[in-house]
Structure 1
């Protein structure tokens, strides 16, 4: 049986480079690369896309749509890491853990969209609760999240590292910078659709003064619901849904072990893994809860998820090239 060929269109970008590094030592597939001088040549890119069993697109949205239009080989599968096709009906959403049949849909698909980093955290927390009815589809969800600056790509990486070089003192840094304050962020449609919500969540992302890591928080004012679940019910539902998922560990309810000095939640503890770690904190007396997801924005939030989807699409062991 021939070794499958993989082409990463956009190999030199942040996500593309991370994917390449995860595939470089694999012997169960072959990564075909474009000559650096030809990276912007459409004809050469199209040739390599159609020569691949799976073409992974690590491109801006418009460039990804254009690249898909070049596919003429019916055997070529496409895995798109951009936001261009995440809510498109003819594309399969590349989140294997989101439902019991999603893996089989990814395996059978010729077009798969890789999830966004923030939506991965949000959907891990909310989708099982909404789709099971434990939280109503009409719930007004709020998402507070922070990511390492590597999530912004080469431009933001250079900007933040420039800040560090020019102003190394702690007082001169910007440790927490909310953005997207005009709302309507490009991730919101993806969050709403796959969580099964009637209304888009209120999403407030932020960039932290660290390179890599991500925390996604969903506060739940349970007192606002007619039939509020307890913290134990929320935790049991998430634990049961992910019981057989090696990349989605669920911590014990109100886990003190997840807190540094009993108070602080570390954003970087999932780095260098393909995990999205789940935490539930709740107070039944006040009818309040907080759902938390921690992940590597470059791992399960981007390139790690892409490699996991690639393995499924090629019928290879799902954890190949990935770290738990």
Structure 2
């Protein structure tokens, strides 16, 4: 097997470091690295970007766009972990389980936009319901949850780890202009953006997300079991996205946002009060796994034609 050349542009950041760690022991690839003193040297970056079979961009949006502009060949594939290209024409969206053919679309593409951490929980639960006709695309949805502070990048990590009295929970984006909203709306197949209230928790990594559904938001006569079945059918046979059996329970230990840490797994739950018709869709995953670096490595495997789980771990 020919070793593929991989360049991580921005390997010193949180996502880049996590990707490098997942690739460190792989024998099927060669990691190209830029010396610390040349990270802002565009000539050296251009050389490495064009020498790579796959370039993974772990950069701010403007820098990611600049990196793409430096590629002057038609062979280097790009996986961009920034927000820059997530709803751009010509870029495949890197949520491989989003549709039955999405993995194939990613594998055939030279330009892949890695999803943000938050959108997985909304898109992964809502899109199957819209496609099944159980939720109308114009439904005014709300979406909320909690994520570990590593989702905010290096500065947030440094701030939390330096502050022994940091708040246990801190809602943010309260002007409702979060940068992930465009991709949530587009790939959730929604005609309007959801009302999204994210919260950062005083723990390093992990995510727990919620989409509440009132009975009026569902097609007439829709039951919770039908909602569960539509989501379960979408992910049947998936390596990384699993749907827990439908059950009436008051609480579950696995709903700890950290329960999937270290894996590329996303676990989905459907909870309901069948008498009232109220439902909540819950997702648990690692914001640094399926929500970032794990998804990037999964997309890399697809582009290279490798086993989808190579270098990744799914939860037991």
User: TM-score scaled by structure 2?
Assistant: 0.97
Runs of 4+ in 1 over 2 A off after TM superposition: 223-226, 254-258
Superposed, 1:71-90 pairs within 5 Å as 71-90=71-90
The equivalent residue for 1:247 is 240
CA offsets 1:134-157 (integer angstroms, 9 cap, x no match): 111111110011100011111000
Describe the shift of the 1:63–1:230 C-alpha distance in structure 2 as closer, same or farther (beyond 3 A). same
Describe the shift of the 1:310–1:256 C-alpha distance in structure 2 as closer, same or farther (beyond 3 A). same
Q: How many residues align?
A: 314
Check whether the contact 1:4–1:53 (CA below 8 A) recurs between aligned residues.
yes
Describe the shift of the 1:227–1:257 C-alpha distance in structure 2 as closer, same or farther (beyond 3 A). closer
CA distance in 2, matches of 1:56, 1:2: 19
The equivalent residue for 1:92 is 92
Q: Compute the displacement of 1:229 (Å).
A: 1.6
The equivalent residue for 1:51 is 51
Tell me the secondary structure at the aligned position of residue 73 of structure 1: coil
CA offsets 1:291-313 (integer angstroms, 9 cap, x no match): 00000000000000000000000
The equivalent residue for 1:272 is 262
Which residue of 191, 204, 211 corresponds with 2:197? Answer: 204
Which residue of 171, 175, 187 corresponds with 1:182? Answer: 175
Check whether the contact 1:223–1:288 (CA below 8 A) recurs between aligned residues.
no
Moved more, 127-136 or 17-26: 127-136
The equivalent residue for 2:156 is 156
CA distance in 1, matches of 2:250, 2:73: 51
Superposed, 1:102-121 pairs within 5 Å as 102-121=102-121
Q: Compute the displacement of 1:223 (Å).
A: 3.4
Q: Compute the displacement of 1:2 (Å).
A: 2.6
Tell me the secondary structure at the aligned position of residue 98 of structure 1: coil
CA distance in 1, matches of 2:32, 2:232: 40
Which residue of 259, 284, 289 corresponds with 1:299? Answer: 289
Tell me the secondary structure at the aligned position of residue 281 of structure 2: strand
Check whether the contact 1:9–1:56 (CA below 8 A) recurs between aligned residues.
yes
Structure 2 residue 316 is the aligned partner of structure 1 residue 323: no
Q: Compute the displacement of 1:258 (Å).
A: 6.4
Check whether the contact 1:54–1:79 (CA below 8 A) recurs between aligned residues.
yes
Which residue of 280, 287, 290 corresponds with 1:290? Answer: 280
Structure 1 unaligned residues grouped into runs of 5+: 168-172
The equivalent residue for 1:195 is 188
The equivalent residue for 1:221 is 214
Tell me the secondary structure at the aligned position of residue 97 of structure 2: helix
Structure 2 residue 16 is the aligned partner of structure 1 residue 16: yes
Describe the shift of the 1:323–1:255 C-alpha distance in structure 2 as closer, same or farther (beyond 3 A). farther
Check whether the contact 1:223–1:286 (CA below 8 A) recurs between aligned residues.
no
CA distance in 1, matches of 2:249, 2:295: 28
CA distance in 1, matches of 2:219, 2:244: 28
Tell me the secondary structure at the aligned position of residue 242 of structure 2: coil
CA distance in 2, matches of 1:118, 1:243: 22
CA offsets 1:36-92 (integer angstroms, 9 cap, x no match): 111111110110000000000000000000110000121111110000000011100
Check whether the contact 1:272–1:299 (CA below 8 A) recurs between aligned residues.
yes
